């Protein structure tokens, strides 16, 4: 892959850690999980795995790559059972190698336990050091493995009590999916930092997923979200809920609404599509004097906020850039005289639409700014007389330690530059961010508050000095 394209496709866009999907009570649980992971592919594109149980035996398939690359028809035919645990991953804590592909599976005391994790444990390094002093041997560089070592040390308490006691020792963000031979378990951290929901299958059975779009694909009915601090046990007796943690203020990741979640999902009991339109409308309210000839997004991330902004501003909405939907992961490297290839291979401007126009671009976020420079330049090269940008969230000035890949402050363009300086660096006539108050207003929910640490530095879970060093400690 050429350097320009690598930068365009993987570096500037923020990445979520993972997506998880589980099934209990369906005779073809592996196939349903395959479809569920396919719907959650946007949450992780580096690896995928499925473990399935028939009530006695657990079989699994894991591999590097996208879901349809890892699983073939013969794999799904081999994975027999009515309980399944699936995972798609983007690696940031832990390297991108086969040993780190989830579900993470252990065989202990005559039983098998599988784990899929979405999030990040901020005390993982501390726990790992303690466990190693006590004799634990780690096989991966994932923070998730800490949970399994804690569980094996508590298994004498019984699986359920041992699991709960292990979870109580964790700090940070987690949406967990555990599977044994006959049980599926969903757990969410006390602040509810990462999303997780439960669905019901037609004819019986349950589904657990990071987002509801995965339920839609298999015709499951959304039941509810897993509540912050809740552990849900699902087996042949049905669904049983416990809340073993001390109550904490709810701090759900607001960036799910801005960027991560699919627009057709319901997250925190709100439709993401509608929230993003409200964010765009709020931008128009905050910048009423910003006028242009057309409003356009950089597809696909800014589409829905752009619809809201255009409608509220009474300006025409246009798709001024066209996305190539057939871009793969590898390309023949272009010659040196093919300037901006990495930008143009994915997005190309409609010149006749843009030429001679004052353009307002709606973007969901600017993290590092590396790809935005090329995209803005392409708009200017297409003949735009002015290029303004509005962003449907505040500037990212602080790193995320709870499951998004901008984990150091130096990566963030807004941590080093003022808004006017960023506008100059990106080649814009003006740059206008949504206020934090406006973001909260447009993302309103009856289900608790939000984590806004990446905008204001107010971390709901304290972050120690060793955060981010887990994978380096062998």
Model pLDDT, residue 113: 95
Query: What's the average model confidence in pLDDT over 421-435?
Result: 97
371, 7 contact by CB (below 8 A) = yes
* Mean pLDDT, all residues of the chain: 88
The pLDDT, as a whole number, for residue 96 is 56
Q: What is the arithmetic mean of pLDDT over 131-148?
A: 87
Which parts are annotated binding residues for [4Fe-4S] cluster? 253, 400, 451, 454
Average pLDDT of the residues in 90-98: 59
From 18, 114, 393, 471, the catalytic residue = 18
34-48, 163-177, 337-351: least confidently modelled range: 337-351
Neighbours of 177 (CB within 10 A): 28
Q: Which fold has domain 16-248?
A: 3.60.20
What secondary structure, in 3-state letters, does 267-326 show?
ECCEEHHHHHHHHHHHHHHHCCCCCCCEEEECCCCCHHHHHHHHHHHCCCECCCEEECCC
Token pair of 26 as six digits: 């369906």
C-beta pairs of 322-330 under 8 Å, 24+ apart in sequence: 322/347, 322/348, 322/349, 322/350, 323/299, 323/347, 324/348, 327/9, 329/1, 329/9, 330/1
Q: How far apart are CA 294 and CA 319, in angstroms?
A: 9
- 327 versus 198: the higher-pLDDT residue is 198
Listed in order, the ranges of the chain carrying CATH 3.60.20.10 are 16-248
pLDDT score at 137: 85
Cβ-Cβ contacts under 8 Å for 148 (sequence gap 6 or more): 104, 106, 113, 115
Q: Is 471 a catalytic residue?
A: no
Question: Does 17 have pLDDT greater than 80?
Answer: no
Give the rounded percent of residues in the chain with a pLDDT score beyond 70. Answer: 86
Q: What is the pLDDT of residues 371-416, one digit of tens each?
A: 899 899 999 999 999 999 999 999 999 999 998 766 566 679 999 9
The answer to whether residue 12 scores a pLDDT higher than 70 is no
Sign, CA dihedral 472-44-102-459, equals positive
Fold observed for domain 272-456:
Rossmann fold (3.40.50)
Residue-wise over 129-157: b if at least 16 C-beta within 10 A, else e?
eebeeeebebebbbbbbbbbbbbbbbbee
Residue 15 has pLDDT above 70, yes or no: no
Q: Are strands 449-451 and 251-253 parallel, antiparallel or unpaired?
A: parallel
Name the nearest CA neighbour of 189 among 207, 175, 179. 175
Angle between helix axes 303-313 and 272-286 (nearest 10 degrees) is 40
DSSP annotation string for 227-247: PTT-EEEEETTEEEEE--SPP
Structure confidence at residue 409 (pLDDT): 67
Asked, as a colleague might, if the bond just before 289 is cis with ω within 30 of 0, I would say no
Rg of the chain over all Cα atoms, to the nearest angstrom: 23
Q: Tell me: pLDDT of 84 over 50.
A: yes
- Would the pLDDT of 24 be above 90? yes
Nearest-CA neighbor of 367 among 54, 5, 11? 11
**Do 457 and 401 meet the contact criterion of CB atoms below 8 Å apart?**
no
Cite the residue boundaries of each domain of the chain with CATH code 3.40.50.2020.
272-456
CB neighbour class for 308 (10 Å; exposed up to 12, middle 13-18, buried from 19): buried
Contact 53, 83 (CB under 8 A): yes
Q: Which of 47, 72, 228 is nearest to 142 (CA)?
A: 47
């Amino acid at each position: 892959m050429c350097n320009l394209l690598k930068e365009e496709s993987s570096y500037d866009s923020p990445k979520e850690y993972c997506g998880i999907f589980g099934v209990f009570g369906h005779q073809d649980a592996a196939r349903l999980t395959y479809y569920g992971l396919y719907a959650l592919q946007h949450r992780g594109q580096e690896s995928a795995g499925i473990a399935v149980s028939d009530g006695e035996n657990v079989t699994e398939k894991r591999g590097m790559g996208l879901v349809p690359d890892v699983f073939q028809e013969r794999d799904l035919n081999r994975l027999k059972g009515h309980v399944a645990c699936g995972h798609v991953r983007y690696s940031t804590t832990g390297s991108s190698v086969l040993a780190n592909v989830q579900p993470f599976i252990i065989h202990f005391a005559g039983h098998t336990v599988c784990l899929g994790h979405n999030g990040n444990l901020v005390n993982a390094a501390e726990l790992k050091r303690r466990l190693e002093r006590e004799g634990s041997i780690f096989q991966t560089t994932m923070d998730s493995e800490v949970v399994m070592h804690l569980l094996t040390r508590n298994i004498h308490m019984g699986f359920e009590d041992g699991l709960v006691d292990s979870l109580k020792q964790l700090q940070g963000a987690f949406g967990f999916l555990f599977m044994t031979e006959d049980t599926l378990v969903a757990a969410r951290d006390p602040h509810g930092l990462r999303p997780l929901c439960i669905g019901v299958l037609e004819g019986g059975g349950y589904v657990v997923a990071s987002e509801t779009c995965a339920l839609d694909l298999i015709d499951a009915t959304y039941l509810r979200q897993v509540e912050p601090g809740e552990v849900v046990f699902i087996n042949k007796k049905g669904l049983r809920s416990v809340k073993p943690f001390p109550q904490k203020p709810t701090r759900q990741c607001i960036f799910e609404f801005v960027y991560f979640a699919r627009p057709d999902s319901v997250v925190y009991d709100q439709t993401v599509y509608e929230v993003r339109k409200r964010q765009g409308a709020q931008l128009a309210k905050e910048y009423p004097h910003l006028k242009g000839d057309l409003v356009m997004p950089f597809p696909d991330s800014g589409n829905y906020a752009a619809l809201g902004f255009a409608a509220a501003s009474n300006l025409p909405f246009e798709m001024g850039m066209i996305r190539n939907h057939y871009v793969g992961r590898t390309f023949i490297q272009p010659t040196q005289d093919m300037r901006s290839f990495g930008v143009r291979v994915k997005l190309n401007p409609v010149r006749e639409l843009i030429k001679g126009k004052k353009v307002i671009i709606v973007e969901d976020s600017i993290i590092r700014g590396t790809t935005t420079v090329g995209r803005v330049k392409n708009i200017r090269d297409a003949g735009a007389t002015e290029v303004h940008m509005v962003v449907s969230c505040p500037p990212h000035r602080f790193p995320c330690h709870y499951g998004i890949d901008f984990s150091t402050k130096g990566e963030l363009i807004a941590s080093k530059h003022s808004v006017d300086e960023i506008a100059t660096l990106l080649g814009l006539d003006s740059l206008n961010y949504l206020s934090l108050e406006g973001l909260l207003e447009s993302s309103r929910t009856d289900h608790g508050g939000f984590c806004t640490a990446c905008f204001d530095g107010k971390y709901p879970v304290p972050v120690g000095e060793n955060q981010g060093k887990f994978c380096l400690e062998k």
